[in-house]
Homo-oligomer: A and B are copies of this chain.
Amino acid sequence: VQANKLRPVPWNRVVVDDRFWAPKIKTNREVSIPLQLEQIRKTGRLDNLRRAGGKLEGRFEGIRFNDSDVYKWLDAAAYSLGTHPDPELEAQVNAVIEVVAAAQQESGYIHSYFTLERPDARFACLAINHELYCAGHLFEAAVTHYEATGSRALLDVALKFADHVWGLFGPGKRDGYPGHEEIELALVKLHRVTGRDRYLTMAQRFIDLRGSRPSPFEAEFAAESAWKNVFDAKRIFYKGDQYDGSYAQDHLPVREQSEVVGHAVRAMYLFSAMADLAAATGDQGLIAALDRLWTNLTTKRMYVTGGIGPSRHNEGFTSDFDLPNQEAYAETCAAIGLVFWAHRMALLHRNATYADVMELALYNGVLSGVSLDGEKYFYVNPLQTDGTHHRQEWFYCACCPPNIARLLASLGGYVCAESDDGLWVNLYVAGTCQARLGGTEVTLRQTTDYPWSGEVGIVVEPQTPLEFELRLRVPRWCRAADVSINDGSVPLEAVDGYIGVRREWRAGDRVRLLLGMGPEHVVAHPDVIPDVGRAAVRRGPIVYCLEQADHDGPVSRIILPAEEPLEEVREPDLLGGVITLGGTGYRLFEEGWDGHLYRADRQPAEQIPLKFIPYYAWDNREPGDMAVWIPVCLAQGGLVR
């Protein structure tokens, strides 16, 4: 076990008070969370639990795993209560917890579908039935609710269920594990708040068993062949007649895995739990596997937005460099899962590379998942559209809305990390972090207009003067950084992506960080076939796109000059306040094409002004098309800038 471990400064000891995130968190609290509860009610998700608790007549409605949306909503609401107490929301949370508690069976089991419809088949088909997945989300919500309010109302329900799981699946019991990972990382959280080893042991057992041969899923599918959806579900676990399992990361024992495969959300939740376990146990086999998987994901299978999982077919991964733009699946939940995993990797390895990816996903592939007004969501996040893809208020399978709500509500937890003698700043977010280094309280106050500006002011306020190392992340996109302390410049020694300053810090010490930030054209690895001859535009952590709303016609027809500079325009009244990037491009004429699909003629184009907006902010105005990767006029020398 690693000594002097790195821990996040807990979400409830961080105040986010900036112009970028604070308004989004406010919208999340005031609009999204209430509307989501309304949707959860309207769609029978609460009624299912009421029926399972005998409080209502009738049959189960919707998808089998709909309980999880209730738990994720509770998780989001509890985070919000922890940073922004609200008696009305608290009453709603308590009412929902009562419903959940009443749905708990004598054994500890909770899952409204099986309780209502197939009590005989509880835990009969872990591969597809999501009972352990739902349990995991319940456990996470319970931990958050306990941390936020001090109440054990939900935690005791969760522990009773966790003990039931332990009784069925603990050491010496049934060798089963969930088809959809989630409970593993939740069990680690239960271990953290209770200190009880069995929860960590249970998580480890689920992780260690994954990839067994024969897979326990094979017997489950054989036994459950009469189930109506097993035929379809089975198909995705098999290659022809041969069990494969890669859909659920069950193709190999986890320590032998090297490529990210299968359902992307499942993969991210598994890898997050593996990182938790590695942090707890120092297991080098796990760490080596995580490192291989990380390299595969971030150097071969990730969109420039931090979106992951290109295929609709398996909601997940395909092959190296297969990153289609228009067909991109890039589920919002998968990008959220990447934030979870990247955060844990950053803590495990104390390396800013991981926080760079966390930031990338957070500001782009995650944030695109919710509209600026907090009322609509993307499940699928393509990088190019034909004008027909738009956010929706809710989904039949509604995993994404409450997932983004709980991430936004817990954002403070990703900003800083602490060890016994160090303080890491991973995100530049104005506000305060209340860290504990050894026994000393240290407050860190950030002032910044990040991500629009790379200028960050930090005031360090230890309770008493304290020597420790302050580590400031220098993002990989930054070409020039500068740090001064109390107006004196300090030598830059970036180690593992952090500039570290070790000194005795005194209350009121001021740090000033300047991260050079400007618009850049980005190109993709030449094996990403659809991006060859195209460029994307980025500024700092923000990936940009072109949207039809700014261009009086489809942006798919636009071609970008290679050498044209892009001009930053601060637009405080646009899209919640953004910096747009202006320039000049060419748009192919549609005129003259009537009756033609292909022509050998020259293709005329007109010069038009371009306006790039942040990718996360698209589809918040009149509907139209959008593109991240723009065909670029390559200079004859074959060089792109």
Q: Which residues of B contact A638 (CB under 8 A)?
A: 559, 586, 588, 603-607, 633
Which B residues are in CB contact (< 8 Å) with A588?
526, 532, 638
Report the Cα distance A133→B603, complex, angstroms: 44
Assuming the contacts A386-B322, A534-B533, A634-B634, asked whether A602 and B526 have C-beta atoms less than 8 A apart, the reply is no
Indicate whether A349 reaches chain B with its CB closer than 8 angstroms: no
- Asked if residues B602 and A557 are in contact (CB atoms below 8 Å), the reply is no
Q: Which of B327, B520, B593, B632 lies in contact with A327, CB distance below 8 A?
A: B327
A274 to chain B, nearest CB (A): 22
Q: Which residues of B contact A633 (CB under 8 A)?
A: 633-636, 638
Q: A532 with B557: in contact, given A596-B299, A633-B634, A638-B607 (CB under 8 Å)?
A: yes
Q: Which of B525, B557, B603 is in CB contact (< 8 Å) with A597?
A: B525
With a cutoff of 8 Å between Cβ atoms, the chain B residues found around residue A634 in the complex are 559, 586, 631, 633-634
- Interface size class of chain A, counting residues whose CB lies under 8 Å from the partner chain: 35 or more
Inter-chain contacts of A589 with B (CB < 8 A): 526
CB distance from A600 to the nearest CB of B (A): 4
Known: A324-B326, A526-B588. A597 touches B533 (CB 8 A): no
Which of A476-535 touch B at CB < 8 Å? 477, 520-530, 532-534
Q: Mark A308-322, 1 if CB is under 8 A from B, else 0.
A: 000000000001011
Asked if B556 and A532 sit within 8 Å, CB to CB, the answer is yes
Let me know if A598 is at the binding interface, CB within 8 A.
yes
Q: Does A302 sit at the interface, judged by CB under 8 A?
A: yes
Interface check A538, CB cutoff 8 A: yes
**Residues on B with beta carbons closer than 8 Å to the beta carbon of A597:** 298-300, 302, 304, 524-525, 528
Given A532-B631, A590-B527, A633-B636 in contact, is the A598-B304 Cβ separation under 8 Å?
Answer: yes
- Of chain B, the residue at the smallest CB distance from A625 is B529
In Å, the complex CA distance between A635 and B633 comes to 7
Answer whether residue A554 sits at the interface, using C-beta atoms and an 8 A cutoff: yes
**A426 interface residue per 8 A CB criterion:** no
- Does any Cβ of B come within 8 Å of A639's Cβ? yes
Q: Give every chain B residue within 8 A of A324 (Cβ-Cβ).
A: 324, 326-327
Query: Cβ of A599 < 8 Å from any Cβ of B?
Result: yes
Task: Decide if A640 is an interface residue (CB 8 Å cutoff).
Answer: yes
- Give the interface centre of A300, A319, A561, A631 by most chain B CB atoms within 10 Å: A631
Judged by a CB distance under 8 angstroms, whether A641 is at the interface is yes
Across the interface, do A524 and B598 meet the contact criterion of CB distance under 8 Å?
yes
Mark out the residues of chain A between 608 and 641 whose CB falls within 8 Å of any chain B CB in the assembled complex: 631-641
> Given the complex of chains A and B, what is the CA–CA distance between A640 and B635 in angstroms?
14
Pair A523/B598 contact, Cβ less than 8 Å: yes
Of chain B, the residue at the smallest CB distance from A479 is B600
| Residues of B contacting A559 in the complex (Cβ-Cβ under 8 angstroms) | 532-533, 634, 638
Other than A526-B593, A533-B631, A606-B638, give 16 A-B pairs with Cβ distance below 8 A.
Answer: A295-B595, A327-B327, A524-B598, A525-B597, A526-B603, A528-B597, A529-B556, A532-B556, A532-B559, A533-B534, A534-B631, A603-B638, A603-B639, A604-B638, A604-B639, A633-B636
Residues of A within 8 A of B (CB): 231, 295, 298-300, 302, 304, 319, 321-322, 324, 326-327, 384, 386, 477, 520-530, 532-534, 536, 538, 554, 556-557, 559, 561, 586, 588-590, 593, 595-607, 631-641
